Amino acid sequence: MELRLLDNIWKRGKDFLGVKYPMICGAMSWISNFELVKAVSDAGAFPVLAGGNMPPDLFEAEVDKCIENLDKPFAVNLITIAPNYKSHYDILLKKKVDYVVFAGNFPKKWAVEGMKEAGKKTMSFASTDSIAQQMIRFGVDALLLEGSEAGGHIGPVSLTILLQQVLFEVGDKVPIFVAGGIATGKMVAHLLLMGAAGVQMGTRFVMTEECTAHHNFKEAFIKANARSAIATPQFDSRLPVVPVRALNNPGMESFRKLQLELLEKLESGAIDRETAQYEVENFWLGALRRAVVDGDVDNGSLMAGQSVGLMKDVLPMKDVVRSIAEEAEAELQKIKSIF
The confidence score (pLDDT) of residue 272 equals 87
pLDDT digits (tens, 9 = 90+) for 139-177: 999 999 999 999 998 989 999 999 999 999 999 999 999
**H-run or E-run covering 190:** helix 185-194
Separation of alpha carbons 62 and 85, rounded Å? 15
pTM: 0.94
Name the average pLDDT for the chain.
Answer: 94
pLDDT band (50, 70, 90) for residue 105: confident
200 to 70, 113, 134, 293: CA distances (angstroms): 20, 24, 21, 23
- 246-295 pLDDT, tens digit each: 999 998 888 888 888 988 898 898 988 888 877 887 788 789 899 999 99
Q: Which domains does the chain have, with CATH numbers?
A: 4-213+311-334 (3.20.20.70), 215-306 (no CATH)
